[in-house]
Structure 1
Amino acid sequence: MSTTSHRQHIPAVTEDVPASTTRVAAGRALAVLRIAYGFTFLWAFVDKVFGLGFATKSGKGWIDGGDPTAGFLGKGATGPFASFYHSLVGDFWVTPLFMIGLLGIGLALTFGIGMRIAAVAGTLLYVLMWSASLPLETNPVIDDHIIGAITLIALALVAAGNVWGLGKMWSSMSIVKHYPWLR
């Protein structure tokens, strides 16, 4: 009896699955990932604006006069950068910039436009939130913020906004052609 008789042959992509089919499936999978990440940013924005009782308590939304960044920066920031983040609480520019970032990144990812800007802004936001959470509890280096940052960069690099998004139309605009960093 052969020791390999119990193994099934798993075809390589090039054997039974045409490359075009693989590219289409990969493009769709990346589009779903892009849209899902977009919704996470949009949801955070909506919850913080209206205080829907999830991450932001009812009656504590931005619309109610609450400060969406005060809790995290004031109480949630730990580790070597805690004093820096604590010092930002109440600064007039912090909350509007954070909220504009959540909305802009969320819309860009959801619609597949401005993927480079969304990747840079989202990566910066993720890295800042990661550094505010140091030391990490379950892994000394990697957490969901770093995975999110890597994902946003990958989505921009593969032009994930072109599938089920407005990326192709966005890229064809004259201002985007003139300033490719807007892609």
Structure 2
Amino acid sequence: MSAASVHHTPVSQLERVEAPGSMLTKAAAKSLAVLRIGTGFVFLWAFLDKTFGLGYSTPSAKAWINGGSPTKGFLSSVDVGPLQSAFHAMAGTWWANWLFMLGMLGVGVALLAGVGMRIAAASGALIMAMMWLAEWPVGATGSTNPFADYHLIYALVLVVLAAAYAGHTWGLGRLWAKLPFVQRNRWLI
């Protein structure tokens, strides 16, 4: 059999998924969708556990609905770093609690639905960066890595998910992107 008689279908016709600004294989698009859904659940779960005290990281007695503060424990335990006094001042304030909880809820829902990925990535990365700063210098807080802890990895994951249009696979991202107000305001994608 000669090389000229062998017919190969180009990869682009077999397994590529098109999304605005990206070209992904179907396996890559599905993998990113699984990563998006898993990450969304991490954010949503943090919101639910802190709101209702489901007993995982937040006992029922310290639930937000029972008068507990979602930010007081974490921020008041900042032991080191140049921002220690700033985080102590924020700990337990009504505005820090509300911003944190609305951020966790919004990022979680957006990732699970696959919509507003750019806003979710920016908001979630900001939340993760603030949490990273609260534990900085990371080595002094018991981390096993002096720089790249899970907060930074989650922030990077969020940016990749938004950049790759991960909401288009197994999400509502394609429909969302077609809405007239989203078309006029592309930052809402």
Note the C-alpha offset of 1:18.
3.1
* Identity over aligned pairs, percent: 48
Note the C-alpha offset of 1:67.
0.5
The farther-off stretch of 167-176 and 71-80 is 71-80
**Paired residues, number:** 169
C-alpha change, 1:48 and 1:177, in structure 2 (3 Å) is same
Q: Cα deviations across residues 107-157 of structure 1 (Å, max 9, x unaligned)?
A: 000110000000000000000000101121211111111111111001000
Q: Measure the CA separation in 1 of the matches of 2:11 and 2:180.
A: 35
Q: List alignment gaps of at least 5 residues for structure 2.
A: 1-7, 17-24
Q: Could you tell me which of 88, 91, 94 is aligned with 2:90?
A: 88
CA contact (8 A) 1:76 1:133 kept: yes
What's the TM-score, normalizing by structure 1?
A: 0.87
Matched, 1:134 2:136: yes
Write the letter of the residue equivalent to 1:21. Answer: E
Q: Measure the CA separation in 1 of the matches of 2:79 and 2:125.
A: 18
Matched, 1:21 2:15: yes
Taking the TM superposition and a 5 Å limit, the aligned residue runs for 1:24-173 are 24-76=26-78, 78-136=80-138, 137-173=143-179
Q: Which has the higher strand share?
A: 2
What's the TM-score, normalizing by structure 2?
A: 0.85
Write the letter of the residue equivalent to 1:51. Answer: G
Q: List alignment gaps of at least 5 residues for structure 1.
A: 1-14
Write the letter of the residue equivalent to 1:47. Answer: D
CA contact (8 A) 1:162 1:168 kept: yes
The farther-off stretch of 77-86 and 32-41 is 77-86
Note the C-alpha offset of 1:76.
4.0
CA RMSD of aligned residues (A): 1.7
